[in-house]
C-alpha cells in the first residue's frame, strides 16, 4: 500500500471512529447523567407554583421518569427570593439549598455577575434563540407569555379590548394588577404595557404608563388590591392584568364559574421571558442538569405549552410540526402575538427602575384616609 493510501485510510478510520464516538458519547453522556442524578437521589427546586405553566405536571413527570425526590421550596417566592436563597445556602448542602432557579430575565445577568450560577448547555442548546440566552451558557430563556386581561364576563358584560378602554367610566372600580408594581414583575410590566401605545424609549414608555395608572387611580377605575383568581371570581376585581398563561390557568381552574375571557390587548402587547439557571453551589448538580435536559426536551417544552406558556423553542418545534394541534387550538390566535414586543434587558432595567422610583409620587400619592 502506498504511503498516501495508508495515511488516508488511517485518517478515514480515525474520522469514522471519531464520528461514531461522537454520536455514541451523546447517548453515553445522557446515560451517565441519568446515573449520576439517580445516585444523588434528589433535586431541590424553588418558587415553582404547580399552576404556573403547569409545573405541577412537569414535576410529576420528572419524578415518574427518573425516580428522584423533588424538594419544593417556597412556591410563592419571587425572583429575589430565589437569588437570596442561593446566597444563604452557599455552605449548606442539605435539601434547603436550591439546585435550579427560574427567574425574570433581568436576574440572569446579575446572578452571573454575582457568581451565583454555573454554566450548562442543554442538548437542544442550538434551537434556543440567541437573544434569549447567555452566550456562555449561564442562563437560558425557558418560556414566555404576553400580558393579557382576565375578564369576569358575569360581572363585566363588555370586555375591554385595549389598555385605553380601561379608562372608560363603565369600568369604575374594576381593574387591578397582580401585586405591587415595585415588587412583582407582572404588575410592573402591566404599567409598562399600558404606556407602549405612545411609543418612545423605555423610560418614556414607563412614564406614560405611570401617568395612565395615575389617571385610572384618580377616576377610581383602579383597585389597589392584589388581583387573582379569587378576587376575579368574587367580583371585586373583575378585570385583572396578568400573564396570559396565568389568566388561562385561572379560567380553567374556575371551570366556568364565573366565565373568564382572556383578552390580549390590541396594542401594548408586552412579552415577558423567564430564564433558567443552575446554582453554582448546587448540592445535586447532576440532577440539576438532568432537570434542564428534561425541560428543554421536546416533551418538556410541550409540557409548558400545556400550561399555556410559549416555550422558548416554540418556533423550532412548530417548524418541525411537533406541536399538537389540540394544544394550539387552546391558545389565543397567533395573530394576537404578532405584535408582541420583547423588551431588551436594558429596556427592562430602565423601565423597572423608573416605575419603582416614581410609582409613589405619580400614582400612589393620594392616600385616602
Partner 1 sequence: MLDVTADPVRRPPPARKIAAWAGVAPFFLFAAMFLIVPTFSLMVGAFQNRDGEFTFDNILRLTQPSILHSYALSLEVSAASAFFGALIGFALAAAVIFGGLPRWMRPVLMTFSGVASNFAGVPLAFAFVATLGRMGLVTLLLRNVFDFNLYTSGFNLFTFTGLTLTYLYFQIPLMALVIAPALDGMKQEWREAAEILGASRWQYWRYIAWPILGPSCFGASLLLFANAFGAIATAYSLTGPSLNIVPILLFAQIRGDVLHDPNLGFALAFGMLLITGVSNFAYLALRARSEKWMR
Partner 2 sequence: MNGRLIASWSVVALCGIYFLAPLIATFEFSLRLLRGHYSFEAYRLVFASGDFQSAFLFSAIIGVVTIIVGALIVTPTAYWVQLRLPALRGIVEYITLLPLVVPAIVLVFGYIKLYGSNSILPLTATPFGSDILLMLGYVALGLPYLYRAIDAGMRSIDVKTLSEAAQIQGAGFPTILFRIIIPNIRSSILSGAFLTFAIVIGEFTLASLLDRPAFGPYLQLVGASRAYEPAALAVVAFLITWGCMGIIQWLGNSGSNFSAKR
At 28, list the grid cell.
453515553
Site stretch for partner 2 (CB under 8 A), options 1-9, 67-75, 101-109, 180-188: 67-75
The nearest distance, CB 126 to partner 2, in angstroms, is: 34
Q: Taking CB under 8 A as the rule, does residue 173 contact partner 1? A: yes
Site stretch for partner 1 (CB under 8 A), options 5-13, 34-42, 324-332, 360-368: 360-368
* Near partner 2 in 193-252, by CB under 8 A: 228-230, 232-234, 246, 249-250
How many chain residues touch partner 2 (CB under 8 A)?
40
Contact string (CB under 8 A) for partner 2, positions 89-128, x = contact? xxxxxxxxx-------------------------------
Binding test (CB under 8 A) with partner 1, winner from 146, 166, 187, 263: 187
* Near partner 1 in 106-165, by CB under 8 A: 107, 110, 114, 155
H-helix segments, 228-312: 229-234, 244-254, 285-296, 298-306
Binding at 42: pick from partner 1, partner 2, none (beta carbon under 5-8 Å per type): none
Sequence-distant (6+) residues with CB within 8 A of 355 are: 181, 182, 188, 191, 192, 206, 209, 210
Q: Taking CB under 8 A as the rule, does residue 185 contact partner 2? A: no
Integer angstrom CA distances of residue 149 from 133, 141, 348: 28, 24, 21
Q: Taking CB under 8 A as the rule, does residue 158 contact partner 2? A: no
Q: Taking CB under 8 A as the rule, does residue 176 contact partner 2? A: no
Q: Which of 67, 69, 62, 78 is nearest to 44 (CA)?
A: 69
Eight-class DSSP state of 111: H
Eight-class DSSP state of 182: T
Are 24 and 54 within 8 A, CB to CB? no
What span, in angstroms and rounded, lies between the C-alpha atoms of 14 and 99?
Answer: 40
Site stretch for partner 2 (CB under 8 A), options 84-92, 100-108, 164-172, 210-218: 84-92
Helices 202-219 and 345-362 pack at an angle, to 10 degrees, of 30
Dihedral class, residue 346 (left if φ above 0, else alpha if ψ from -120 to 50, else beta): alpha
Strands (DSSP E) contained in 47-161 are: 69-73, 100-104, 117-118, 140-152
Contact string (CB under 8 A) for partner 2, positions 247-286, x = contact? --xx--xxxxxx----------------------------
The nearest distance, CB 291 to partner 1, in angstroms, is: 21
Q: Taking CB under 8 A as the rule, does residue 72 contact partner 2? A: yes
Q: Taking CB under 8 A as the rule, does residue 49 contact partner 1? A: no
Binding at 107: pick from partner 1, partner 2, none (beta carbon under 5-8 Å per type): partner 1
Q: Which of 209, 239, 207 is nearest to 222 (CA)?
A: 239
Task: Measure CA of the first residue to CA of the last residue in the chain; give whole Å.
Answer: 99
Task: Kindly tell me which of 98 and 104 has the beta carbon lying closer to partner 1.
Answer: 104
Binding test (CB under 8 A) with partner 1, winner from 21, 158, 253, 361: 361
Are 186 and 286 within 8 A, CB to CB? no
Q: Taking CB under 8 A as the rule, does residue 251 contact partner 1? A: no
What span, in angstroms and rounded, lies between the C-alpha atoms of 265 and 208?
Answer: 17
Angle (CA) 141 241 198, round 5°: 85
Task: Kindly tell me which of 210 and 269 has the beta carbon lying closer to partner 1.
Answer: 210
At 89, list the grid cell.
445556602
How many chain residues touch partner 1 (CB under 8 A)?
47
Other C-beta atoms lying within 10 Å of the C-beta of residue 327: 12
Q: Taking CB under 8 A as the rule, does residue 364 contact partner 2? A: no
Which residues of the chain form contacts with partner 2 (CB under 8 A)? 44, 49-52, 71-76, 81, 84-85, 87-97, 228-230, 232-234, 246, 249-250, 253-258
Residue ranges that bind partner 1, judged by CB under 8 A: 77-81, 83-84, 88, 103-104, 107, 110, 114, 155, 173, 177, 179-185, 187-188, 217, 223-226, 230-231, 234-236, 352-353, 355-356, 359-361, 363-364, 367-369
Amino acid at each position: 500500500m502506498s504511503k498516501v493510501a495508508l495515511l488516508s485510510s488511517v485518517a478515514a478510520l480515525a474520522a469514522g471512529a471519531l464520528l461514531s464516538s461522537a454520536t455514541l458519547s451523546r447517548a453515553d453522556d445522557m446515560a451517565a447523567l441519568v446515573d449520576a442524578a439517580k445516585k444523588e437521589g434528589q433535586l431541590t427546586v424553588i418558587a415553582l407554583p404547580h399552576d404556573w405553566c403547569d409545573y405541577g405536571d412537569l414535576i410529576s413527570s420528572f419524578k415518574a421518569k427518573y425516580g428522584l425526590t423533588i424538594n419544593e421550596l417556597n412556591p410563592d417566592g419571587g425572583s429575589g427570593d430565589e437569588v437570596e436563597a442561593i446566597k444563604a445556602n452557599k455552605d449548606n448542602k442539605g435539601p434547603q439549598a436550591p439546585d435550579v432557579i427560574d427567574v425574570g430575565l433581568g436576574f440572569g445577568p446579575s446572578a452571573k455577575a454575582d457568581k451565583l450560577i454555573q454554566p450548562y448547555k442543554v442538548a437542544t442548546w442550538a434551537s434556543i434563540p440567541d437573544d434569549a440566552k447567555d452566550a456562555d451558557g449561564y442562563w437560558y430563556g425557558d418560556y414566555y407569555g404576553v400580558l393579557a386581561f382576565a375578564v369576569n364576563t358575569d360581572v363585566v358584560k363588555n370586555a375591554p379590548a385595549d389598555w385605553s378602554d380601561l379608562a372608560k367610566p363603565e369600568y369604575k372600580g374594576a381593574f387591578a394588577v397582580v401585586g405591587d408594581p415595585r415588587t412583582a414583575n407582572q404588575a410592573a410590566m402591566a404599567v409598562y404595557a399600558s404606556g407602549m401605545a405612545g411609543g418612545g424609549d423605555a423610560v418614556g414608555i414607563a412614564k406614560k404608563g405611570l401617568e395612565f395608572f395615575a389617571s385610572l387611580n384618580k377616576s377610581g377605575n383602579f383597585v389597589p388590591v392584589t388581583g387573582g383568581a379569587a378576587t376575579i371570581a368574587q367580583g371585586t376585581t373583575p378585570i385583572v392584568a396578568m400573564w396570559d398563561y396565568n389568566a388561562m390557568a385561572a379560567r380553567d381552574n374556575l371551570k366556568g364559574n364565573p366565565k373568564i375571557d382572556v383578552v390580549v390587548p390590541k396594542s401594548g402587547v408586552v412579552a415577558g421571558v423567564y430564564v433558567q439557571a443552575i446554582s453554582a453551589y448546587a448540592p445535586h448538580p447532576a440532577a440539576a442538569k438532568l432537570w434542564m435536559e428534561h425541560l428543554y426536551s421536546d416533551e418538556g417544552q410541550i409540557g409548558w405549552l400545556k400550561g399555556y406558556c410559549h416555550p422558548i423553542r416554540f418556533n423550532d418545534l412548530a417548524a418541525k410540526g411537533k406541536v399538537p394541534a389540540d394544544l394550539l387550538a387552546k391558545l389565543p390566535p397567533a395573530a394576537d402575538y404578532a405584535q408582541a414586543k420583547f423588551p431588551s434587558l436594558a429596556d427592562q432595567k430602565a423601565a423597572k427602575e423608573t416605575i419603582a422610583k416614581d410609582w409613589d409620587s405619580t400614582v400612589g400619592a393620594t392616600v385616602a384616609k
